[in-house]
A and B are shown apart, each in its own frame.
Chain A
Amino acid sequence: MRQQMQSVRQEAPVTAGLVRPVLISAVFFMVVTGLVYPLGTTGVSQMLFHRQAQGSIITEHGVDVGSAIIGQWFTESKYFHPRPSATTGTDPNDSSKTVDQPYNAANTSGSNLGSTSKKLVDAVAGRVEAYRKENGLGPTDPIPVDAVTASGSGLDPEISVANARIQAKRVAAARGIPEQQVLALLDTHTQEPQFGVLGYPRLNVLEVNLALDNLALHTSGK
């Protein structure tokens, strides 16, 4: 009991001496973690990885047309189509409702449907039908899975090589160029797995579509 009372009396000077170090360390860490470190990492990344730090923007004839890491929604038959996307946006006519808006980069999301969802099974079946019709496939031809499933972000910029090769026939027919030329273009733009083992060979849809347009420009210019 006596020891407890003595320690209570001695506590006041100890806590008074803590106020200054606490304030100084609080301000110090605010400055270091809130200003110095973020500014430092931003500066280093701008110096070492300038293009990536600015968003991997792709520029075409002086105009920013998009990013290499954000997908875009192509629907015309003369372009390669990306993966389906489950993103939504607000209805332009009624701001309280949401409407399907594929590749809406302001509202990235997946469908959040589970593996036993009837909605998902029906949606994929519908996409399979549409893909077969669009690309002239028979009723039993196998389809690459990334052509009929939405990505988790809804903004996947790439498609698999198999998906691209199936679409090449339609794209060549729509543009009136031989399919071999389109396939050769695909080969030059195929990105190999990172370090040879991570991921699959894939193609950036925006890049390939821009290359197709440039091809058309140069051949029509001749």
Chain B
Amino acid sequence: MHDSLTPIGGLVPIAEMMLNNVFGGIGVGLINLITFAILTVFLVGMMIGRTPEFLGKKIEAREMKLVMIALLAHPFSILGFTALAAIFPGTLQSLNNLGPHGFSEVLYTYVSGTANNGSAFAGLNANTPFFNTTIGFAMLIGRYLTLMPMLAVAGALAAKKTIPEGPGTLSTSSALFTGLLVFVVIAVGGLTFLPSLALGPIAEQLLMGAHQTF
């Protein structure tokens, strides 16, 4: 049913699941927002030349490595599997729509699997051994490779001593921090995923405006 949405209409759930902060599986919203908050604190700390600290705990290299694993697992799974499906010869038989919309079908499948959402562009026949296996892996990577590093970060932060708030600490409850956080989410998510979105929904929207059919 989502297959019949207009191109931009289909882009919205894809983009929201790619950001992984809006909807997805149970619990991914909170843990991903914390991931992005730590990343924002780190970036701001680097910009102003102070050691980043989140909720009173210092963020060091070990935590940042784990945060980056959690952040990169999501696009790695989505883009990697979509690229694999795009060059796999059997994919064409599974598509219900030709042209950029077919690419959107495959992209949506892996976005939904990685974000643990479960919806699909229903026209795609994903009941083939290739899709069953790769979407299964996407689900596992999207669930555990984003949760486990953050649990490790939580454990590492819990063992640290709390630093008392001083005049130089960045307040994570101010409007400035919220704005920075939103910007980091959109910038990181957008830069990572805009090329794939340009190949799928955006190309289809432009071609639809030019009255081209496939």
Q: Are B214 and A113 in contact (CB under 8 A)?
A: no
Contacting residues, chain A, for B1 (C-beta < 8 A): 109-110, 112, 152
Q: Per-position contact with B for A100-135: 1 when CB-CB < 8 Å, else 0?
A: 000000000111111111100100000000000000
Q: Are B213 and A112 in contact (CB under 8 A)?
A: no
Contacting residues, chain B, for A118 (C-beta < 8 A): 98, 213-214
Contacting residues, chain A, for B121 (C-beta < 8 A): 112
Q: From DSSP, what is the main secondary structure of chain A's interface residues?
A: loop
Q: Flag whether B99 is at the interface (Cβ < 8 A).
A: yes
The CA of A121 and the CA of B104, in the complex, are separated in Å by 19
Q: Which residue of B lies closest to A122 (CB)?
A: B213
The CA of A110 and the CA of B97, in the complex, are separated in Å by 14
Residue in contact with A112 in the complex, picked from B6, B7, B123, CB distance below 8 Å = B123
A109-B1, A152-B1 given as contacts; is B213 within 8 A of A117 (CB)? yes
- Minimum CB–CB distance from A149 to chain B (whole Å) comes to 10
Q: Flag whether B51 is at the interface (Cβ < 8 A).
A: no
Residue in contact with B204 in the complex, picked from A109, A114, A121, CB distance below 8 Å = A114
The CA of A117 and the CA of B211, in the complex, are separated in Å by 11
Q: Besides the contacts A111-B4, A115-B7, A117-B213, what 15 more A-B pairs have beta carbons closer than 8 Å?
A: A110-B1, A110-B3, A110-B4, A110-B122, A112-B1, A113-B96, A114-B3, A114-B5, A114-B7, A114-B204, A115-B6, A116-B7, A116-B207, A118-B213, A121-B213
The CA of A111 and the CA of B122, in the complex, are separated in Å by 9
The CA of A118 and the CA of B104, in the complex, are separated in Å by 17
Residue in contact with B213 in the complex, picked from A109, A110, A116, CB distance below 8 Å = A116
Total contacting residues, chain B, CB less than 8 A: 22
A residues in contact (CB < 8 Å) with B: 109-118, 121, 152
Contacting residues, chain A, for B204 (C-beta < 8 A): 114-116
Top 5 A-B residue pairs of the complex, sorted by shortest distance between their CB atoms? A112-B123, A114-B101, A112-B3, A118-B213, A114-B97
Q: Are B96 and A112 in contact (CB under 8 A)?
A: yes
Which of A109, A116, A152 has the largest number of chain B CB atoms within 10 A? Answer: A116
Q: Per-position contact with A for B186-214: 1 when CB-CB < 8 Å, else 0?
A: 00000000000000000010011000111
Q: Per-position contact with A for B76-101: 1 when CB-CB < 8 Å, else 0?
A: 00000000000000000000111111
Q: Are A113 and B4 in contact (CB under 8 A)?
A: yes
The CA of A40 and the CA of B99, in the complex, are separated in Å by 50
Q: Are A116 and B214 in contact (CB under 8 A)?
A: yes
- Contacts A/B (CB < 8 Å), 23 sampled: A110-B1, A110-B3, A110-B4, A110-B122, A111-B4, A112-B4, A112-B97, A112-B121, A112-B122, A113-B3, A113-B123, A114-B4, A114-B5, A114-B7, A114-B104, A114-B204, A115-B204, A115-B208, A116-B7, A116-B207, A116-B214, A117-B101, A152-B4
Contacting residues, chain B, for A112 (C-beta < 8 A): 1, 3-4, 96-97, 121-123
Q: Which residue of A lies closest to B205 (CB)?
A: A115
Contacting residues, chain B, for A111 (C-beta < 8 A): 4
Q: Per-position contact with A for B114-156: 1 when CB-CB < 8 Å, else 0?
A: 0000000111000000000000000000000000000000000
The CA of A114 and the CA of B212, in the complex, are separated in Å by 12
Contacting residues, chain B, for A116 (C-beta < 8 A): 7, 97, 99-101, 204, 207-208, 212-214
- Minimum CB–CB distance from A16 to chain B (whole Å) comes to 24
The CA of A117 and the CA of B104, in the complex, are separated in Å by 13
The CA of A52 and the CA of B204, in the complex, are separated in Å by 42
